[in-house]
Amino acid sequence: MSKRKGGPEKVHAEFFVWLLYKRGAVYYADGRGSLPTLGRRSLGTGSREEARHALDALDRQMAVKEGLLSVSEFVARNSGDNRLPLAEGRRLYEEYVARPSIAHGVRPKTRQRYKAVFDKFLPFAETVSVGYWNQVNKDILSKYARWLEGEGYAHATQCLELSTVKQTHKWLIDEKYLPESCSFKYPLRKNHDSTRYCWTVEQFTAIIEHCRQSAELTWLGDLCFTLGHTGMRISEAANLRWSDIDLVEGRITLVDESRQAKTGGEKRTLKNHRSRSFPIHADLLPVLHRLPRTGKHVFAGPRGGRLKPDTVRRILIRDVLEPIKGRFPSAPGEEGFIDGRVHSFRHYFCSRCANSNTAERMVMTWLGHADAAMVRRYYHLDHDEARRQMARVSMTVSPETNVGPGQSPPSGGPTAAV
């Protein structure tokens, strides 16, 4: 082991040569000078002693990856010190979920969500003196849950964060990177209701009218109108091509290419990896007919380039919701019009389906859901429709009828069907 004055420390570990150095408050291991190159890794600790333990563990784990050490030998070698640094466990799990689609690897956006979870959990763990996955237990998850709640994260986000940490920990045990003794149960109460605001008919109409009054927002009005009449996700609309639309038959077909061989270009994927088609609503047909065909994609961004979901979100809030929010005030502390987002158009579509008594199975097909429970999360009755439905409920006694204790209502009156 050698160290240049003021420079990184050269460590000859069991299998590879590493450079150990500290950046800020955290130690790093640099294996880019080895053959094969091993990359640069955070060791997740500011203690040199812990960093050396973490580096030895990393060296053995990379030996497993490169075929120099079997998993059984890895477990045997770690019988005296089987601590797995948080950063290394994260790397192992992220490599696992990045496996090919045919091997049930997750979509890139799902990997981005996992990355965001780890980016929060690892710094939090350091604040409670946790540097190894072996230290993660029910108490640590409860502390993390309290921290997330204190930071104002929504219930759904808390569920995602805690579930991701749990499933990572379980996978590390299943793959023998952690001993079985680290196993624990930590049930979560999931929210089965949708948390995304749903536009009313009046609000949806106001959004479209506001967009159509400005030449700079016409593109957004056409996009919002399409989302509200199809229930498509914004990612699906952004990737929609003219070849997906049959204006003669009146159908839209969304294609998932994850299982297709493709030599060039980006593969189009859908969230559930299933292609689907649905009829075009009669009110949407004129909009699609008049859209300019300037490229293979149906919708373009504000400057004519590729439509980006995040751009849509920002412009919707800044140029549409903020200017007209005064027309739809909400009580302080309650969710209202201004809290709606692009996904709210999908909820709006489902609410209109529910109010029109469309069969759930049909809506499942249109939205691409295999589970009816997911569709029920989107079903909303707006207030006017709820009042109309309540008015249709038949009651046994009218408000003008006096019925004393033990008496029956007059004959010939309406009878409630129970």
CATH T-level topology, domain 100-191:
DNA polymerase; domain 1 (1.10.150)
Written as one string, the DSSP assignment of 304-356 is: SSB--HHHHHHHHIIIIIHHHGGGS---TTS--GGG--TTHHHHHHHHHHHHT
pLDDT score, position 334: 85
| Residue range(s) in the chain whose domain bears CATH number 1.10.150 | 100-191
pTM above 0.75, yes or no: no
What pLDDT score was predicted for residue 385? 64
Q: So what's the pLDDT on residue 109?
A: 81
> Taking Cα atoms as reference points, which of 211, 227, 216, 199 lies closest to residue 298?
227
- Whole-number pLDDT of residue 64: 84
Q: In DSSP terms, which residues pair with 2 in a beta bridge? A: 10
**What pLDDT was estimated at residue 210?**
97
Is the CATH number of domain 201-259+267-378 3.30.1220.10? no
- In order along its 418 residues, the chain shows pLDDT tens digits of 455 556 789 988 888 999 999 988 888 999 988 878 888 888 878 888 888 888 888 888 888 888 888 877 776 666 555 678 898 899 899 999 988 877 777 778 888 899 999 999 999 998 888 888 999 999 999 999 999 999 988 888 899 999 999 999 999 999 988 988 899 999 988 765 556 788 999 999 999 999 999 999 999 999 999 999 999 999 999 999 999 999 999 999 998 876 665 555 666 777 777 889 999 999 999 999 999 998 899 999 999 899 999 999 999 999 999 999 999 998 888 889 999 999 999 999 988 998 888 888 898 889 888 777 767 766 665 566 667 777 777 666 655 655 555 555 555 444 433 3
**CA 283/CA 278 separation, integer angstroms:** 15
At 76 the pLDDT is 62
Half-sphere exposure of 234 (CA within 13 A, CB side): 19
Residue 367: which of 277, 255, 247 has the closest Cα?
277
CA distance 198 to 365: 21
**Angle at Cα 344 formed by Cα 212 and Cα 160, nearest 5°?**
145
pLDDT of residue 51: 85
Would you tell me how many other CB atoms lie within 10 Å of the CB of residue 23?
9
Domain with CATH 1.10.443.10 in the chain: 201-259+267-378
Q: DSSP per residue over 60-109, as a string? A: HHHHHHTTSS-HHHHHHHTSS----BHHHHHHHHHHHHTS-GGGTPPPHH
